[in-house]
Amino acid sequence: MEKRRLGRSDLFVSQICLGTMTFGEQNTEAEGHEQMDRAVERGVNFLDMAELYPIPPKAETQGRTERCVGTWMKARGNRDQVIVASKVIGRTANEWFRGDRPSKLVRADIMDAIDKSLSRLQTDYIDLYQIHWPDRENPFGSNPTRVTTLSEPLADETPIAETLAVFDDLVKAGKIRHFGLSNESSWGVMRYIAEADRGVGPRVVSLQNAYNLMNRTYEVNLAETCQREEVGLLAYSPLAQGYLTGKYDDGALPEGSRKVLFDRLQRYEKPGGPEAAKAYNTMAREFGLTPAAFAQAFVNSRPFMTSNIIGATTMAQLEEALGALDVRWTDEMQTAVDDLHQRIGNPSP
């Protein structure tokens, strides 16, 4: 499997990253271990998680995902062979993360988060530590296709320089190696870079944003920003939370699916979303591929992609996601996708 340099860092990550947010909820610890074993066998060296996980976030399950990864690394004795990425939450009113208060991107909360993550992971350091979402008020995903109102900065908004200085201390303490962002906008990325260039803290090496056939908003401004500033894209939700597998076509509700279990797929259920998904799924079959393989192959083929974060709840799903690397993405496929995108745009930003 191809390894790609992550931003300007010394990390070379596999072009496929294993997402782990189902470990501890939809997947047991043993199933999580099995997935990680198989991914590593196929050449994956990159695992993504967060203090928030598993999904859906709940006080009683929070942190289980990192614990699962930690027990796996301890059992396999392979900490030095895998690149571990985790995330600290952004602003939230939920109190269970810090134990007694809402959380923001301030020193006390970030320090609390990193120490708890290191303990759960049974490691002394995290290779890539990311901000899950901003402290400021912004749309989750950060790239809306239209803006009807503009929010004034929050009265207690944490300055980016203040947050970045904490990450500088984490690097100096050896608790993290590199710093990344998630669910950020072009403005946010550039503000962090500007502060780093002033000497405030570490330079951002990666951006983890949603990217798939139904949401190509990354291409509008962030692709240029990240290319010129050497920030690597880590794409999450390549299957649009399952809508690009075809299993929800025509309103179907498969037993055991995330939609049935948790009903948290609203991002892909906006007007035009299900219709767009079915159009792409139909196109995939016309090219002789399963919808999931087609959608994954599209993401894998993008020239700005550093690593595609896949996720699975079954080994069969994992094999299909890994197998998409063998799909040859053709000019004909790209033209068909672009023609459809020109007509329907990004229904699920």
Question: Does the pLDDT value for residue 59 go beyond 80?
Answer: yes
Averaged over 42-69, what is the pLDDT? 98
Query: Shortest CA distance to 135 belongs to which of 177, 172, 93?
Result: 93
Distance, in Å, from the CA atom of 124 to the CA atom of 118, rounded to the nearest integer, reads 6
For residues 275 and 321, the answer to whether their CB atoms sit within 8 Å is no
Confidence of residue 142 (pLDDT cuts 50, 70, 90): low
For residues 189 and 226, the answer to whether their CB atoms sit within 8 Å is yes
Per-residue pLDDT of 15-43, as tens digits, reads: 999 999 999 999 999 999 999 999 999 99
Has 53 been annotated as catalytic?
A: yes
The class that CATH gives domain 3-241+306-327 is: alpha beta
Query: Shortest CA distance to 163 belongs to which of 150, 181, 140?
Result: 181
Distance, in Å, from the CA atom of 288 to the CA atom of 263, rounded to the nearest integer, reads 31
Catalytic-labelled residue, pool 53, 192, 236, 268: 53
Q: Hey, what are 268's tokens?
A: 């892909």
Averaged over 190-205, what is the pLDDT? 98
pLDDT score for 152: 83
Percent of the chain with pLDDT over 90: 94
Question: Does the pLDDT value for residue 139 go beyond 70?
Answer: no
For residue 128, give every residue at least 6 positions away whose Cβ sits within 8 Å of its Cβ, in sequence order, or none. 6, 11, 83, 84, 85, 86, 176, 177, 178, 179, 180, 205, 206
Distance, in Å, from the CA atom of 78 to the CA atom of 184, rounded to the nearest integer, reads 32
Q: Where do the domains of the chain lie?
A: 3-241+306-327
Dihedral class, residue 217 (left if φ above 0, else alpha if ψ from -120 to 50, else beta)? alpha
Q: Can you say how many angstroms the Cα of residue 39 is from the centroid of all Cα atoms in its chain?
A: 17
